[in-house]
Amino acid sequence: MAGDREGIRRRFEERLLLSRKSSGNSFITLASTPGGTASGQLSGKLAGIKDNIAVKGMRMTCGSRILENYMAPYDATVVERLTHSGAVVLGKNNMDEFACGSSGENSAFGATGNPLLPGTVSGGSSSGSAASVGEGLVDFSIGSDTGGSIRCPAAYCGVIGLKPTYGRVSRYGLADLSMSLEGPAPVAAWGGEELLASVMDCISGFDRRDQSTASARKTECVRQLDSFDPSGLNIAVPENALLHCTPQVVAAFEHALSFMGDAGATVERVQLKSLDVALSAYYLIMYSEFASAMQRYDGLKFGTRGEGYTVEESILNARSLLGPEVRRRIMIGTYVTSAETRGAWYERALAARDHVSSELNDMLKSHDLLAMPTMPSAPYRLGERINDPLLMYASDILTVPANLAGVPAGSMPMGPGLGFQLVAPRNGDESILAAFRYFNRRGWHW
């Protein structure tokens, strides 16, 4: 046992050194000691934790200057469960400020580099989570996914990521972007399906501190990992989703799909008509929930309050520390939820969400899985889209439907920087990881 602990400590020190030397900028804060070396299912596994998830005694910035000096006073439930199972936190991962973004460039602590395709964006908002796994600095990381934030960087960095069923993993201790859409979401290297499965089994299930988990069943991902049998499966492929993709993405997707087809799965081409309204519904709901959640960062409750300032000055000082994308979202969210406009925007967005959710859920009643590319294009050059928020938002078109419907969705590599996305019915998290394992075991090369 003492020998194990020594081994864990040595590996921790070695990765700490590598992380300090790395130019990838995938961590905002590194741990100083390998705390919590309990034995368990995840004994000695090194973990990154996105910097919007609380780790007691460590700085938690959410990628923002406004929380630059904030120390988390408690562990998020996911962190508590991981460390009790023996995982060791190496550091807090870089991220787009308050999880706003899909490129990893909106962090107040600098952009995260893409270890797979240097010079291109790493994806976001869990940029550091996917990049630190891709670079081999940690064994896995916990990010979060509101509209694609784990699947997008997983695709761009060539790793696997899972957005669990909403309410199956506790959100306690997560500073979320949008409470009805987001939850913690793990990421591991290609080939790390078993580890991802163990992580899911560890972090999932009821938590009395989060009502959204009231009816949560713990996952059985490890037990079901080798149970995937494509023969007899019926997979839906929304043809209209492919119209948003580059030819390179479509070609890689068809290739991955034929891998399942050759193994006996039935592939049915369908239309997901509500895809037309999914992006607008997502952005309007997210803006609204975000604007409301951000009220607390007023320099009084949270954020830095300088000495000798009035309340008004403190609020203005604190707000001036927020980046442009965060401010844009707060302004739009405040506008679309105001008494005069909420009928025209927010309420219509809620109706559109119901529409997407029922169409997707119906499709998942008549099919076992739904397959789509994760992102419509390959990662682009750093800086290329930073001044065009609408173009940036457009890249979330294929990931937001699963969040609007609360169903699980995962991404695995299908080409360099390209992700193959599987969406399952509610509580079907296990089958997504089992499918990824099947690809891996049957020699899928990307």
Q: Which residues bind ligand GLN (CB under 6 A)?
A: 99-102, 125, 145-149, 177, 286, 396
- The reply to whether 170 belongs to the active site is no
116 vs 332, beta carbon nearer ligand GLN: 332
User: Closest approach of Cβ 131 to ligand GLN, in Å?
Assistant: 16
105 vs 145, beta carbon nearer ligand GLN: 145
Query: What phi and psi values does residue 254 have, to the nearest 5 degrees?
Result: -60, -35
Q: Among the options 26, 141, 149, 314, which is catalytic? A: 149
111 vs 286, beta carbon nearer ligand GLN: 286
Under a CB-based contact definition with an 8 Å cutoff, are residues 184 and 143 in contact?
yes
User: Closest approach of Cβ 120 to ligand GLN, in Å?
Assistant: 16
Under a CB-based contact definition with an 8 Å cutoff, are residues 356 and 282 in contact?
no
Comparing every residue's Cβ against ligand GLN, the nearest one is: 149
User: Any idea what DSSP says for residue 397?
Assistant: T
Angle at 412 between CA 421 and CA 159, to 5 degrees: 140
Q: Among the options 45, 50, 92, 163, which is catalytic? A: 50
User: Closest approach of Cβ 149 to ligand GLN, in Å?
Assistant: 3
Torsion of CA 133, 48, 155, 256, to 10 degrees: 70
Nearest to 140 by CA among 198, 83, 186, 81: 186
- The reply to whether 32 belongs to the active site is no
User: Closest approach of Cβ 147 to ligand GLN, in Å?
Assistant: 3
User: Closest approach of Cβ 241 to ligand GLN, in Å?
Assistant: 17
- The reply to whether 50 belongs to the active site is yes
User: Any idea what DSSP says for residue 236?
Assistant: E
Number of CB atoms found within 10 A of residue 241's CB: 22
Enclosing H/E stretch for 93: strand 88-93
125 vs 170, beta carbon nearer ligand GLN: 125
User: Any idea what DSSP says for residue 165?
Assistant: P
Enclosing H/E stretch for 370: strand 369-373
145 vs 368, beta carbon nearer ligand GLN: 145
Q: Among the options 125, 127, 129, 144, which is catalytic? A: 125
CA of residue 143 relative to chain centroid, distance: 5
Tell me which residue has tokens 């000798």.
308
Q: Would you state the structure tokens that stand for residue 137, as one six-digit string?
A: 């600095």
The residues carrying an active-site annotation are 50, 125, 149
